[in-house]
Homo-oligomer: A and B are copies of this chain.
Amino acid sequence: MNPQISFITLGVKDLDLLTRFYRDTLGWQMEKEQEGVRFFKMNAGLIFALFGEVDLAADIGLDGYQPAPPGSFKRMSLAINFDSITKVDAFFAFLKERGVSIQKEPETVFWGGYSGYFKDPEDNYWEIAYNPYL
């Protein structure tokens, strides 16, 4: 039995900007803030958290961390899956209505699913997909 992941924490440059994006633009419910970390309860037992990147580096104990250049790729992605192509399209329509940057329009992809990407204001990438194999 694999362990449960309790937190996904993104190190961000502008905590208020990112909070407004997830809470107000996407409309996600923010649970609380504790010591500069903003928490969003997602799946059962899983919290998505926003934390200043320099503070996160300090918490990990990375000495002398220099903030990454704006726009540099974090080499990770997060995904939200829907159970139909229609729901994926509806979510992209919602994103556009809210002015969210679409990174890749949803399309049928080589592995047999239907997938696109949006990005948050600091270029964190979210895949929105229908995966018939899940």
Q: Which A residues contact B (CB, under 8 angstroms)?
A: 1-12, 28-29, 34-35, 40-46, 48, 53, 56-57, 59-62, 65, 68, 72-81, 103-104, 110-111, 117, 125, 127, 129, 131, 133-134
Q: How far is the CB of A35 from chain B (nearest CB, A)?
A: 5
Q: Is the CB of B77 within 8 A of A127?
A: no
Chain B residues whose CB sits within 8 angstroms of the CB of A7 once the complex forms = 77-79, 81, 127
Chain B residues whose CB sits within 8 angstroms of the CB of A75 once the complex forms = 10-12, 53, 56-57, 68, 74
Docked pose: A12 CA to B74 CA in angstroms: 11
Q: Is the CB of A73 within 8 A of B79?
A: no
Q: Is the CB of B35 within 8 A of A76?
A: no
Give 15 A-B contacts (CB < 8 Å), ordered by A residue.
A2-B41, A2-B48, A4-B80, A4-B81, A5-B43, A5-B78, A7-B77, A7-B78, A11-B76, A43-B43, A43-B46, A56-B75, A59-B127, A62-B73, A74-B74
